[in-house]
Structure 1
């Protein structure tokens, strides 16, 4: 502690933000207390804490070197409601990221602590000290920092213990000076029905939810006119001054429903923006992280198994190279050197073996920096440790997990595929299923699973209905983006993307070439014999999920010749299809091919149509005759005139009678 204080005096700008969150290990209450896992993540100046070069490097990340910050996160308000340790929790971090870029110079770390706390706990915990880094666009002279969290274990209206929201960020996010920005802060919640809102941290301890100064010297640290959209935590602003840092301090809070007026917890997130002016030789387009996972993906991973994740970056100009990554990682995750496997493509590989203590959500964020200090948009994904992502099961030709496969009709409109676990709709849009032409790889049909009403998720099955006229004889295949099948836990762990053209493939029956019949004349002593595939009680692998025999666009015909004792005058019919050579004494069982089925059905249909007409025609004639007679009687002018004359006659008869009755009564 003495060394820390001495160093603080010599280097008073080491704090650069952080995050505090928590969750119960079991959200179902049992007894009067619960085990709570508390997570702290902080960003520091890379130079601070190292009394002489070399400063922190990737070696410290691999070795999980402690960051020597021997202070404490303590209880700040309503402490008597809990058994939270009076001395607080240590803030000594395990190194997770070390950014060597001269502008960033960040040393990041995190730690987890498990406490057994009573369900009466409703406290504000936080880490307060000094000093925030100097050189900020807005910074109070004190330089003090305050980052606080509300830990409330009172049971939710649904009877469970609450889980706080989670978030992640890069320590420094680069944006160009004078250019309007819309920056989204990631936020998620294990209680999937909760309403999440974010707000500005503030120092008004009399009115804010935490009842304490929430942001120290960096309250309102962004330029005037900055707009915060609470529902999706989007910041809209323009950075006015270049080569300077801007501090951002927010609180993310969860509400039980839209009617709730008080949040159930409050998670702080503090980080930096940096404004730059692009150099004259800079590429007009910033680099972008393009995969292998989409931004905001959620991936289930087991603990104890090594994960290898690839971060792929696209550059857009000659001479534009990726020189560094700024990252925010779970502890134990290492970052490879940057490689350039192909033109305009840059790769960094993440290697990580999660441990039991990391069970639950673990966030990772990255931003790629080019040689002009242009930074890509932040790219963040969430790993759910000890959760399993649903996997789409590879279709098989017969009795498989998807339908249809093999040969289908031109009007095929129903497609379905199964997963290894319960699935639901993706939580984000731009999760696409594509039907592609196998010859050209062109997309002929696509749907966004984030909202498309013709994609239905039910149990383990995804059903897709289409309205498309497929081309006869064509082959097609299906691809699906990451997360097309999403799990049911937390941020809905995603299925892996399907890009293999052989994964789900089908072709369209072409009646013009799939079946024809020919007749040939042969000598008396020989005959042409054709056999066809025979279906027995065992599975016939020549059949598809639609029951149509597999075909290709090039039918095959084989004519076999055999000697007979009773020569016919003509050869047996030859059907284009699979054939083999056999003796004529063998019995064969013919399989009806599509063309044969068409001919047979058309004969039966013609016969039934004739019989039906013969039976129903007399009845139709009677009905039509009666209708015409009725029509003629109703609208015949002679009948109409007769009715009018009859009406006038009745009037002449009735009028004298009515007059007589009137006189009689008077």
Structure 2
């Protein structure tokens, strides 16, 4: 491979180590899994933060990624793990092993930079040695933006957030939508580079509205694919600018928890209907045990129905105002609601996250009719005064009993 920053024309090596001995808990170990695009494009001279996705079917394991190396007499694998592409990124590159995050700047355009990593699983954070070592090797390509190119590369904006984990049953058709945002007149999406599970198909790229591009994924997982399956995508525009990678983990043969639609009678959410302006406790049930999402930026928001404006949001990734207990999520608010107004609640993908593996995520809730409530207005509700002046009240006499009904229209 001639155009490499380090290792041009040299050899490559890759090393994978499995341990089939029983773990301390008596089970056979499951190795970590990871997914990436083979080549990721980044602009020259721009500081980059790049996260490598890693997951493990043994939910309690501690995962760490490290640089592959050629120290065959001292490294865990006792082998040359990367040969000519060891240390393939420029000086000043930082690797944070606990979340496999790279921070670097590519100095020279029109070159490829090799990245060789080992992802290893430890039984606990105090274990001295990993149980397995899984390699991942890929390339970064450095470019200089062409004259006339948009100053902003395209971005994949949803529907799921980057690095989401999604449970999918075996034999059930899955449809996933990739939405791509462009930012300049004349900027178009010409390709979507993907790394996909076997059997997944992609629709042609469509452009349903200005600056929005769509691709639909279709896939029916089979029994032999049970466990984690990775997907990554990168959108490329007509100036060869590439979006940051967007990756998902599909957990096959597992159903994600879902939030139960609130009902007026024996409801799964509380409160609904009319409440007082000092209402501060809100709760909702899921279909299975849930926990806090592993990713910050997973919000629950309260919106004013008349304008759709957000009046209060909490990040469920860390906020103490969002409490997870069993099947129930409790939200403690610190706001005085406006009398006479109506509100509704939205929840991001993963607001309810499963308790196993990569914490498979609930679907996002954006429908304003899913969970809504009204605030009692005392100015329009009173039973202390009876008057015969229409249309405020109507007085009906029957069997010696007088009933006053209030017209709040």
TM-score normalised to the size of structure 2? Answer: 0.94
Return the alpha-carbon distance in structure 2 between the equivalents of residues 520 and 327 of structure 1. 73
Aligned to 2:388: 520
Preserved CA contact (<8 Å) 1:519 1:573: no
CA root-mean-square deviation = 2.1
- CA distance in structure 1 between the aligned counterparts of 2:355 and 2:387, rounded to whole angstroms: 62
Larger-gyration structure (1/2): 1
Cα shift readout 1:66-106 (whole Å, capped 9, x = no counterpart): xxxxxxxxxxxxxxxxxxxxxxxxxxxxxxxxxxxxxxxxx
Query: Do the aligned residues in 1 keep the contact of 2:387 with 2:393 (CA within 8 Å)?
Result: no
Q: Is the 8 A contact 1:196 1:252 kept in 2?
A: yes
1:60-209 superposed matches below 5 A: 133-139=1-7, 141=9, 143-209=10-76
Asked whether the 8 Å contact 1:417–1:462 carries over to 2, the reply is: yes
Partner of 1:439: 306
Is 1:396 matched with 2:226?
A: no
Asked whether the equivalents of residues 416 and 463 of structure 1 are also in contact (C-alpha less than 8 Å), the reply is yes
Task: Measure how far apart 1:515 and its partner are.
Answer: 2.9
Map 1:490-501 to 2 at 5 A. 490-501=357-368
2:404 corresponds, among 570, 574, 580, to 574
Is residue 2:240 matched to residue 1:373?
A: yes
Partner of residue 614, structure 1: none
Deviation (angstroms), 1:389 = 0.6
- Per-residue Cα deviation, 1:403-455 (whole angstroms, up to 9, x for no partner): 10000111111111111111111111111000110011111111111111121
Task: Give the secondary structure class of the aligned counterpart of 2:284.
Answer: strand
Conserved in 2, the CA contact under 8 Å of 1:422 and 1:488?
Answer: yes
Q: Are residue 355 (structure 1) and residue 185 (structure 2) matched?
A: no
Q: 1:208 to 1:515 in 2, by over 3 A?
A: same
Do residues 384 (structure 1) and 251 (structure 2) align?
yes
Deviations 1:560-603 (A, max 9, x none): 7x9x9x9x9xx94532159xxxxxxxxxxxxxxxxxxxxxxxxx
Is this contact kept in 1: 2:348–2:363, CA < 8 A? yes
CA distance in 2, matches of 1:305, 1:572: 61
1:328 matched to 2:195:
yes
Runs of 4+ in 1 over 4 A off after TM superposition: 555-560
Q: Kindly state the Cα deviation for residue 212 of structure 1 after the two structures are TM-superposed.
A: 1.4
Q: How many residues align?
A: 407
Distance 1:557 1:359 in 2: 65
CA distance in 1, matches of 2:292, 2:101: 24
Q: Provide Cα deviations, 1:623-657, integer angstroms capped at 9, x if missing partner.
A: xxxxxxxxxxxxxxxxxxxxxxxxxxxxxxxxxxx
**Maintained 8 Å contact 1:518/1:573:** no
Identify which of 481, 486, 498 aligns with 2:348. Answer: 481
User: What is the alpha-carbon distance in structure 2 between the residues aligned to residue 153 and residue 187 of structure 1?
Assistant: 20
> Closer, same or farther in 2 for the Cα pair 1:374/1:557, shift >3 Å?
farther
Counterpart of 2:212? 345
Q: Do the aligned residues in 1 keep the contact of 2:388 with 2:394 (CA within 8 Å)?
A: no
Greater Cα shift, 424-433 or 187-196:
187-196
**Equivalent residues in 2 for 1:227-266, closer than 5 Å:** 227-266=94-133
Higher strand share: 2
Q: Provide the residue aligned with 2:84 in structure 1.
A: 217
Post-superposition offset of 1:398: 2.0
| Partner residue of 1:308 out of 158, 175, 179 | 175
Q: Report the CA distance between 1:265 and its aligned residue.
A: 0.7
CA contact (8 A) 2:270 2:283 kept: yes
Q: Would the alpha carbon gap of residues 557 and 166 (structure 1) be closer, same or farther in structure 2, given more than 3 Å must change?
A: farther
Deviation at 1:216, TM superposition (A): 2.9
Per the TM alignment, residue 277 of structure 1 is displaced from its structure 2 partner at its CA by: 0.4
How far has the Cα of 1:322 moved from its partner?
0.9
**Residues 366 and 379, structure 1, Cα contact 8 Å, conserved in 2:** yes
Asked if 1 retains the 8 angstrom alpha-carbon contact of 2:388 and 2:395, the reply is no
5+ long unaligned stretches in structure 1? 1-132, 522-527, 529-554, 579-666
Q: State the alpha-carbon separation in 1 of the partners of residues 81 and 359 from structure 2.
A: 31
Shift of 1:345: 0.6
Secondary structure, counterpart of 2:60 in structure 1: coil
> 1:156 Cα deviation (Å)?
2.2
Residue in structure 1 matched with residue 316 of structure 2 by the alignment: 449
Tell me if the contact between 1:165 and 1:190 (Cα under 8 Å) persists in the aligned partners: yes
DSSP-derived class of the 1:218 partner: coil
The C-alpha deviation readout for 1:44-63, integer Å capped at 9, x for no partner, is xxxxxxxxxxxxxxxxxxxx
The runs of 5 or more residues in structure 2 that have no matched partner are: none
Q: Give matches, 1:601-612, under 5 Å.
A: none
- In the TM superposition, what is the alpha-carbon distance from 1:351 to its structure 2 partner? 0.8
Q: CA deviation at 1:140?
A: 5.3
- Give 3-state SS (helix, strand or coil) of 1:512's partner: helix
SS class of match (2:14) = strand
Question: Contact (CA 8 Å) 2:193, 2:233: kept in 1 or not?
Answer: yes
Is contact 2:2-2:8 (8 Å) kept?
Answer: no
Distance in 2, matches of 1:455 and 1:476, equals: 18
Higher relative contact order (CA 8 A, sep 6+): 2
Between the aligned partners of 1:202 and 1:460, the Cα distance in structure 2 is 45
For residues 388 and 301 of structure 2, the distance between their equivalents in structure 1, rounded to whole angstroms, comes to 47
Distance apart, 1:200 and its partner CA: 1.4
Q: Which residue of 1 aligns with 2:156?
A: 289
- Structure-2 change in CA distance of 1:372 and 1:556 (3 Å): farther
Question: Residues 452 and 269 of structure 1: is their aligned pair in 2 closer, same or farther, counting only changes over 3 Å?
Answer: same
Q: Matches of 2:354 and 2:393 in 1, distance apart?
A: 49
Give, in whole Å, the separation in 2 of the partners of 1:499 and 1:311.
17
- Please report how far the alpha carbon of residue 558 of structure 1 lies from its aligned counterpart in structure 2 after TM superposition: 5.7
Alignment of 1:37-52 (within 5 A): none
Once residues 81 and 192 of structure 2 are traced to their aligned partners in structure 1, the CA distance between those partners, rounded to angstroms, is 30
More helix by share: 1
